Amino acid sequence: MSLMDVEFDHSALKGRIREMYGTYDNLIPKLSYGETSLSQKLNGKVNFSRKDMLELAKALNIPDTEFSRYFFIVKVRKNERM
């Protein structure tokens, strides 16, 4: 697997959103981008920019010490080993 093929697992991030806001709609007013863009980023269709990650972490009260847990967990495919 090359670095370009790396996919991230954002399930913890999705859980945090549900925990704090219930729905994406309730979170969107805190962000500078819309629900479609957020959904694409959470589902790995579009990469998060650094600005996006920092903005989302602030809205979700994610401490610096937990940042990687929400944004940088590598998704492992069933047929691959890390």
Q: Which domains does the chain have, with CATH numbers?
A: 10-70 (1.10.260)
Under DSSP, the state recorded for 53 is: H
Output the pTM of the full model.
0.84
The span from the CA of 70 to the CA of 41, in Å, is 13
Under DSSP, the state recorded for 74 is: B
| pLDDT score recorded for residue 5 | 73
The one-digit pLDDT tens for each residue of the chain (82 residues) are 555 678 999 999 999 999 999 999 999 999 999 999 999 999 999 999 999 999 999 999 999 999 999 999 998 776 655 5
Strand, coil or helix: what is 61? coil
| pLDDT score recorded for residue 81 | 56
The residue written with tokens 């090359």 in the block is: 2
| pLDDT score recorded for residue 75 | 87
Show Cβ contacts of residue 30 under 8 Å, excluding neighbours closer than 6 positions.
55, 59
**Tokens standing for 30?**
């805190």
